[in-house]
A and B are shown apart, each in its own frame.
Chain A
Amino acid sequence: MLEIKNLHARIAESGTEIIRGLNLTVKAGEVAAIMGPNGSGKSTLSYILAGRDDYEVTEGDILYNGESILEMDPAERAAKGLFLAFQYPMEIPGVATMEFLKVAMNSQRKARGEEPLKVPDFIKRVKEAAGTLEMDFNMLKRPVNVGFSGGEKKRAEILQMKLLEPKLCVLDETDSGLDIDALKIVSDGVNALRSPDRAIIVITHYQRLLDHIVPDTVHVLYKGQVIKSGDKSLALELEENGYAGIIEEAA
C-alpha cells in the first residue's frame, strides 16, 4: 500500500537535509510502528507523507497504491485516503469544529464523486464517534482545538480519523499527553479501524502504546533513515536496552 523508496528530503527554507535515504514498505492490513529517538525525523516523515510544503523531496519517491503522491497537494492526498493525526494539532480560531468536520467530510465525498451528507446523518455520525471516544459533544461547538487540553486534542484527531475513514492512517505520537484511561479509549478507537484494506503507521517513543495497539512490524528511525526493522519483539528490546545498541550496530 505504501512504498517509500530512497527518500531524501530537506527543509525548504534552510536546505537542511532531514530525511536521508529512507526506505519503508507498509502493506494493506498492516500496523507498522515507527520508533526512534527525539529529532530523528519521525514527524518530518509524517508531514512529508501528508504533503506539507515546508519540506522538499530531493530524491526518491513515495508510492501509494503504486502511484507517486509527490505531486499531489495535501487535500488530494487526503481525498485518496491518507490521514495524519498530528503530534501537535493546530488551533484554528473562528472555525467551529462541527463546521470544519462537515466541510472536511463533504470535501472528501465530493472528490470521490459522492453526494454530500445530509445534516441529520452527519450529526448522527459525529455523535456516535464522539460517544465511543467519550468526548463531550458540546466541545465540538467550539472552534477547532481552541481551548482543548492536550488529551482532548488527541481525541479530536482520532475522532476526525474515525469520521473520515482513511485507508492509510499515520499517528504521530498520539499517546503523548494521554493518561492511562484516555490511552485505552484512543487505542480502542484505533484498533476498531484495523482492517485488511487499511494500513496504520504508529509513530511513538514508548512501548506503552504498543501494548494496546499491537504492531505487525516495528521500524527504528535514526538520522532520517530506517536503521532496523523487525516484529513487535524489537519494540520490547528497545524498551529494555534503549536505542544505543541498535545505533551502534547500524553504524
Chain B
Amino acid sequence: MNMRAEIQRTPAEAAIVDAFGERLSLLPGDGAVMVKRDDAIEQIKAGLPTRRVESWHYTDLRRLLASVPAFDASAEAKPIAALLEGSTLLSIVNGVSAATPSVDGVTFQRLGDKLVDGSYAPALVTYGSDDAVGALNTAFVADGYFVDIEAGTQLEKPIELQNVQAGGQSHVRLPVRVGAGAKATIVERQTGEGAGLASSVSQLLLGDDAEVLWLIVQDQPETATHLAQFKAELGKNAKLTLFVMNAGGKLVRQEVIVKAAGEGADFKLRGVNLLSGESHVDVTMVLDHTVPHTSSTEVVRNVVTGRAKGVFQGRINVHQIAQKTDARMACNTLLLSDDGEFSTKPELEIFADDVACGHGATVTEIDRNHLFYLMARGVDEKTARGLLVRAFLAEVIEELEDETVVEPLEELLSNWFATHG
C-alpha cells in the first residue's frame, strides 16, 4: 500500500484526487457515507488498476483513462423518449435526479436523499482492491434512484432509469429491490453527448420467485468514458434476464456481478456489443452459483469494425455445495475489419462435482458461402453483408420474444448500422 501510494500519479488519477478535494463539500452524505467516500478515494490514490491486475488484464485502466473532464454544472442535457412504449420514465440529467412519479406497488426515492440521511451508507461497498469502478463511484456518487417493488406486484409498464449526461462527470447509483413473486421490466439507459466521464452502479435484489427483465442500453458518444457495474443477487426460483447492449462510448467497462443465491434461481445474460472507431469496450462478468440447483446461460455477440477493441471476461464460480449447477457460456465475435480486435476470457471455477458447465468462444468473419448465396440472388454486397451481420445479432435479440422489447432494440441496431455499417 505504502509503496503504491508513492507512485507517480497519471494526469487522470491526479484529476480524480483533486476533484475529490474540490467536490467534497458538495457531496451529499452523513458521517457514515463520508467514511465510505474517504476509504474509496484512498483506493484510487493507490493507483488505477493496470494490466497486471488480473481482472483488468485486457483493459489497462491506468493507461487507457488518458484524461478526466472537470465537473461541469452548466452542461445542458435533456431526457430522451423512453425506449419501450408506455414506460414510467425516471431521468437523471447530468447526475441529478428529478421528482419521482407514483406507481402502485412501487416506491421511488431520490438517492441523494438516502445519502443525506445515511440510510444508503451500508450499501456502499466495494468488492475488493481491484474494484476501481465501485471505488470511483462510491467516492463521488451524488444521486440516482432507489426503487422498491412490493412483493407480488406484477408491473405492467416497464420502468426506465435514464442517465443522460452532456460532458463533465456524473456518478450515479440505481438500487432496485424486487419483492417476492413480483415481476418487472427495467430499462437502464446510459446515454448523452460530449466527452464526459460517467460511473454508474446498479444493485438489484431479487426476492424469491421474482422475475425481472433488465435491459442495459448504452449508447454514449464516441468520446465518452463509461464505467458501470451491475450487481444482482437472486433468491429462490428467481429469474433474471439481463440484456446488455453497448452501442457507443470511447472507453467502456461494464461489469456484471451476479450471485445465484437461492435454489432454483436462473440467470440469463444476453449481450450485444457493437464496436466501432477507436473504442474500447469491456464486459466483465463474475457469476457465483452458491447453492444447489441453479442455472445460468450467457450468450454474448460482438461486431467489431474500425480499430475497435473488445473484451469479454466471463468467470463462473460454482461453489462446493452448489451441486446440479447448469451453466453455459458462449461468446461469438464477428470481426469486420483487419484492425479490430476482440479478446475473450472464459473462466470456470468449479468446486462441486455434480454439475453441467461449458463454454465456447468463436471469432469469425462473414461466411463467404452465405455472402455468395445472397449475392447470387441479386442482393448487392453491402446489403448482403448488412443482412448477415444483423442476422448474427438478431438471434440474441429475438430470443427475448416479447415484440414490444425486440422491435425497439432492433431499431437501435438499425440506427447503429445506418451510422457505422
**Which residues of A approach B to under 8 Å, CB–CB?**
50-53, 73-75, 77-79, 83-84, 86, 89-90, 92-95, 99-100, 103-104, 107-108, 111, 143-144, 160, 164
Contacts and interface: CB of A to CB of B under 8 A. Distances in A.
Interface string B347-377: 0000000000000000000001110111111
Contacts of A86: 373
B379 A75 contact: yes
A83 B370 CA distance: 16
B96 to A, nearest CB: 42
A90 B379 CA distance: 15
Contacts, number: 75
B373 A92 contact: yes
B388 A73 contact: no
Nearest to A145: B373
Contact of B380 (A75, A92, A93, A100): A75
Nearest to B392: A94
Contacts of B380: 75, 107, 111
B1 to A, nearest CB: 51
Nearest to A94: B391
A79 B379 CA distance: 9
A107 B377 CA distance: 9
Nearest to B396: A94
Interface string B393-413: 011000000000000000000
A201 to B, nearest CB: 15
A52 B392 CA distance: 23
A13 to B, nearest CB: 12
Given A73-B381, A75-B381, A90-B370, A95 B375 contact: no
Is chain B's binding surface mostly helix, strand, loop or mixed? helix
A92 B388 contact: yes
Contacts of B392: 94
A143 B391 CA distance: 9
A74 B375 contact: yes
Q: Which 3 interchain pairs have the tightest Cβ spacing?
A: A94-B391, A78-B378, A74-B375
Nearest to B382: A75
A86 B374 CA distance: 12
B119 interface: no
B391 A93 contact: yes
Given A92-B370, A94-B395, A74 B387 contact: no
B384 interface: yes
Contacts of B375: 51, 73-75, 78
Interface centre among B373, B377, B379, B391 (most CB of A within 10 A): B377
A79 B378 CA distance: 5
Contacts of A108: 377-378
Given A92-B374, A93-B395, A94-B391, A104 B369 contact: no
22 contacts: A50-B372, A52-B372, A52-B376, A73-B375, A74-B372, A74-B376, A75-B378, A77-B376, A83-B376, A86-B373, A90-B369, A92-B373, A92-B374, A94-B388, A94-B391, A94-B395, A95-B391, A100-B374, A100-B387, A107-B380, A160-B377, A164-B378
Contacts of B372: 50, 52-53, 74
Interface string B143-180: 00000000000000000000000000000000000000
Given A92-B391, A93-B391, A95-B388, A107 B376 contact: no
Nearest to A89: B373
A103 B374 CA distance: 9
B378 A107 contact: yes
Interface centre among A73, A95, A111, A143 (most CB of B within 10 A): A95
B378 A104 contact: yes
A160 B392 CA distance: 23
B12 to A, nearest CB: 41
B370 A78 contact: no
A160 B372 CA distance: 15
B343 interface: no
Contact of A103 (B368, B369, B387, B394): B387
B387 A95 contact: yes
B368 to A, nearest CB: 8
Contacts of A89: 373
A70 to B, nearest CB: 16
Nearest to A77: B376
A51 B371 CA distance: 12
